[in-house]
Amino acid sequence: MSDMKHTEAPHTGLSRLLLTVVDVLIGALVFLLPFIMGGREAWGHWFLITVSLSLGVAWAVYAAVQGRRYSVSWLELFLIAGLSIAWFQVQPQAPEVMSKFSAEYTRLLPSWSETQLTETQLPETPSAESPTAWSVLSFAPVETRHAWWVFLAYAIVLTVLFQRIRQPEDCYRLLKWVGIAGVAMTTFGLLQWGASNDRFFWFYEHPYTEPTVHLKGAFTNRNHFAQFLSLAIGPLLWWLFRDVKLYLQTQAATNAGTTTPHAARPKPKRKSARARKPAAAAGSQAFQQGFSIPIMLLLCAVAIVVVAVVLSLSRGGMIAAGAVTLVALAGLWRGFKLAGAMAGIILGGGVLFLSLLAFSGEEQIQVKLDQLISGDADKIDTGGNRRAVWAADAKVIQKFPLLGTGVGSHRDVYTLYMDNYADFAMAEMTHAESSFVHAALETGLVGVGCLIAALLFVMLRLVRGTFRTTDPTNRACIIAVIACMVGAILHAVVDFIWYVPGIVVVSLVLIAVGLKAASRHFGTMQIRDGQASGEIWFPRIAWAALGGLCVVGLIRVQPELLSRIEAEKHWYAALRVKLDVPPDDSDGYDNLDDGQVIALDEQPERLSPEAQAAYESKALARREVAMAKYLQERISHMHASLKARPDQHRVQLALAEQCVNLFDLLQSRSDNPFPLNMLRDAATNGGFETTQEMQEWIQGTCGKSFQLVKLADRLSRKSLQGCPLLGHAYVTLVETSFLHDVADSQHRDLVNQAMLVRGHDPRIRFMAGREAIMANDRETAMKLWDSVFHSSQLFRLNILQMVAHSTPVEFWLQQFQPNAEELRDILLVYESLKRERDVNVTLERLADAIPKEAGEIEDEDERLEALMFAYMAARRIEDLEHGVEILRRTAKDFPLAFEPRYHLGMTLVELERPEDSMPHLQWCYEHDPGNVLIPRLIVRARSLMNDREDDSKVRLANFERWASRTRKADDKQRRLP
């Protein structure tokens, strides 16, 4: 069939209905998807994929009914490439093929296959069902498969948008939709921020964040919120200047006595410089007469959106918003030629923006702006998180250069080569903090190359379109899109914004609008025989086939999407569970009668050692009961999550760890209080001949709680089926692998395997060091623990408790050079061991270290607490002179603090220096006249002063008597012959 003979069918009621459905679905993606937590969570993914596939069905049916041609954007090549990369990453490959992509697949996973045992398999009889090696390129294949569906949804949205836009009015409508969506999100964000109950939408409690920490609207991250608003700034400015231009033209026509409808006006021709001057003057004069209410509302909308971006305190968002605003203003000024009106808009908008910003009163805004202006990497990247993860990701990219490690795998692979992971072990970096770095890690140089090529292709077409188009309104549309893309690309360099569906969909809308507006002859729509420029013939049966594929995909993907929703609900419920330790009900406060009070100067009674031990035992019992309830509740929710969706490798691992924790807790309260590691040692050294015999003995020793160990072992192995890089799963298997082998022959291999995949993780290094200690290899253990000791208090205390009983404190001081915070942990352990000498050595070091390091503590309350702790350390070792030095510095740094002044006065009284103590005691009395202890200290100081005065008088009288006797003796001697 020839292109010249193909014509579209006239619109019917059915085709109009289908077109309305298409528009409604596009509107749902633009307006509703961002409000479903940005589309990031399970409900958002369900909405995105379901609506996108439905959009594909609706458009395919409409196109088949109408006989529509296909508009070629040439972005189809990049979309197909992205889908192909994600598809290839989850296809099984032979070992030699895997090695060609990266030799790390073999080096990193030498023992992974040993963890994949079937239920009935014995170590002596390998099963054919067990895999021998990891066989797919993606380290997180389940997430990669899901990402394929997400990317397919984006491809459908972009393709349908490019087909749907036929007239300039379609572009204008979509730009207005984006602007309205940004204003709606801004309004909601400000309202929620100012009147929130710490829940999103006033009813949804997110386990990781809350809406009042930063202004973030319906997004879980302020950077994403700011980027979404930045995408709306360009369309809003375009809308504002377009309406101003139309208003000025209407005013000019009215002043001239004629009114020309916009639709009937001929397209303006380019005028000479002389001809433009009267028009500019007329426009400026019309501008001075005042704007319409809609224009003022648009100006306010732009200002409020920009202010909201600043209030979010997102530095990347500020850069993006600034770039969008500058590019849009420069381009629209050149495109619309508003002359004096342009200056008025900028001036009015600037004044409105500064007024709103001043009204907000956010002091942190200045801090963020100063950080950006400074250009200092240490100030901009506080803590060094971004630089650390970029350096680690660069090493991963170097090891997996072609197709990366799999879409959705970043959180599992960035730790592979992160040498300084111990400094960031308390936070998980789920994404690369850079869209380009993230894409390079997960899809390799091929994937990021396609992304960059697509961006360059779009930008070149847009820039060319600005010079090629003859319609100023179309040129303005292109400029607005270019401005948004510039801002988005700049922000993408320092943040991974393109994994948020709400942002991606709006970006695709803008790209489709820009490319259509940049098309040759777009706006004039030179159609011959139903053919528009850039369209090719597409058979009706092909449209029907595409619609059928979308229907099949829609039906097929629903069970997985719904299971993700159910699984995420229970997983979030598990994260929300809190440890609730009931208070002690024996403190007597609950038994107070109405009106009965406790005197402030009443001191608590000192408990006898027996009573103190009983009190601590009750407190420990309460905590154990609360902990058991906490673990059981979390296990229940995690089990429900896995029941809904069994392929969650991270939930499987978390549940395995909770099972081990609950087992150890139950064992500590049982008749045979063996923790799992001691049980493992007893079982492997018990001389059992078969695993069945050993398990029967454990069952008799531990009872039903032994099932928790078996469950933890099975879940850990299953989690490694989903991702072989879960180092913590290997740690759990180190403890449970003896269930399948009485000799525990895999023990050392599992330790080495854990070190290979996550060797910089403090928990892994702690486990490996513990195993080295048990093998009497103390030197290796200390090398492994060097970074662990400094990483967190949890591991530090575990190391100290394991070794301190046989080690003097000088060993830790020389081996690890601990700082003040670490010295306090050392003190805590040696105090629990009641090693008085080691305690005194630690206190002496603390009294010296804390004042030296106090200047680095930014929080004033924490610095004051640290200095007072240093004083108490000096006091405990009876070095009161050093304590006075510490207190003098503390009183100087905190002149209004009561506690250092009080202790300084008290200590000086103890040192019998009442003259020095009196100013401090008098200051304390003036600031706390109701304190009953201060007058006593003042009386004591005055008594010392009086005693000294009396002593001085006695000494003076004695001296005078001695001097008198001396003079008399001298006189008597002189009178002798």
What's 531's DSSP letter? B
Residue 756 has pLDDT above 80, yes or no: yes
Average pLDDT score over residue span 948-953: 58
CA distance 837 to 856: 30
At 378 the pLDDT is 60
Residue 142 has pLDDT above 50, yes or no: yes
**Tokens linked to 435:** 């869209």
Residues 6+ apart with CB under 8 A from 527: none
CATH class of the 615-857 domain in this structure: mainly alpha
Average pLDDT score over residue span 39-43: 93
With b meaning 16 or more CB within 10 Å and e meaning fewer, what string describes 946-970? Answer: eeeeeeeeeeeeeeeeeeeeeeeee
**Tokens linked to 41:** 């969570």
With b meaning 16 or more CB within 10 Å and e meaning fewer, what string describes 427-452? Answer: eebebbbbbbbbbbbbbbebbbebbe
- Residue 469 near residue 514, CB atoms below 8 Å: no
At 279 the pLDDT is 46
Q: Catalogue the E-assigned strands of 336-394.
A: none
- Specify which residues 536 forms β-bridges with: 70
Residue 210 has pLDDT above 90, yes or no: no
* Angle, CA of 268, 270 and 276, to the nearest 5°: 95
* HSE-up of residue 175 (Cα within 13 Å, Cβ side): 29
At 286 the pLDDT is 46
At 17 the pLDDT is 93
Residue 757 has pLDDT above 90, yes or no: yes
Dihedral (C-alpha) 72, 77, 79, 81: value to the nearest 10 degrees?
170
Q: Which of 268, 292, 286 is nearest to 342 (CA)?
A: 286
Q: Mean pLDDT over all residues of the chain?
A: 84
* Angle, CA of 572, 573 and 574, to the nearest 5°: 90
Max Cα separation, the chain? 160
Instruction: Express each pLDDT in 887-921 by its tens digit.
Output: 999 998 898 888 999 898 888 888 888 888 888 88
Q: pLDDT band at residue 338, thresholds of 50, 70 and 90?
A: low
CA distance 218 to 184: 11
Instruction: Express each pLDDT in 296-327 by its tens digit.
Output: 888 889 989 998 998 888 888 889 999 999 99
Roughly what angle, to the nearest 10 degrees, separates helices 293-311 and 315-336? 150
Instruction: Express each pLDDT in 544-586 by its tens digit.
Output: 999 999 999 999 999 999 999 999 999 999 999 998 888 765 5
> For the chain, what are the domain ranges?
615-857, 897-977
Q: Which of 674, 40, 703, 923 is nearest to 685 (CA)?
A: 674
H helical segments located in 195-221? none
**Tokens linked to 228:** 């979404």
CA distance 263 to 257: 18
| Sign of the CA dihedral running 138, 440, 499, 514 | negative
**Tokens linked to 149:** 């569906």
Q: Which of 343, 345, 344 is nearest to 302 (CA)?
A: 345
Q: pLDDT band at residue 8, thresholds of 50, 70 and 90?
A: low
Q: Is 889 exposed, middle or buried (0-12, 13-18, 19+ CB in 10 A)?
A: middle
- How much of the chain, in percent, has pLDDT values that exceed 90? 44
- Residue 443 near residue 407, CB atoms below 8 Å: yes
At 289 the pLDDT is 46
At 425 the pLDDT is 79
Give the position of tokens 């006075």.
Answer: 884
Render 303-327 in DSSP notation, one character per residue: HHHHHHHHHTT-HHHHHHHHHHHHH
Residue 376 has pLDDT above 80, yes or no: no
Residue 1 has pLDDT above 60, yes or no: no
H helical segments located in 645-740? 649-668, 676-684, 691-702, 706-722, 727-736
**Tokens linked to 348:** 């009015």
Of 137-141, 146-150, 208-212, 525-529, the one with minimum mean pLDDT is: 525-529
The percent helix, strand, coil of the chain (3-state, each to 5) is: 75, 0, 25
Average pLDDT score over residue span 680-708: 86
Residue 958 has pLDDT above 80, yes or no: no
**Tokens linked to 681:** 């040692």
Higher-confidence residue of 662 and 603: namely 662
- Residue 406 near residue 138, CB atoms below 8 Å: yes
- Residue 746 near residue 114, CB atoms below 8 Å: yes
CA distance 193 to 60: 42
- Residue 162 near residue 511, CB atoms below 8 Å: no
CA distance 696 to 702: 10
At 352 the pLDDT is 64
* Angle, CA of 892, 898 and 903, to the nearest 5°: 80
Average pLDDT score over residue span 146-151: 96
Residue 238 dihedral angles phi and psi, to the nearest 5°: -60, -45
Q: How many CB atoms lie within 10 A of CB 673?
A: 11
- Residue 246 near residue 308, CB atoms below 8 Å: no
Give the position of tokens 């099949």.
Answer: 552
Q: pLDDT band at residue 287, thresholds of 50, 70 and 90?
A: very low
Instruction: Express each pLDDT in 212-270 by its tens digit.
Output: 888 899 999 999 999 999 999 999 999 988 888 787 777 767 766 654 444 444 444 44
CA distance 460 to 462: 5
Average pLDDT score over residue span 700-711: 89
Average pLDDT score over residue span 27-33: 96
Instruction: Express each pLDDT in 401-423 by its tens digit.
Output: 999 999 999 999 999 999 888 88
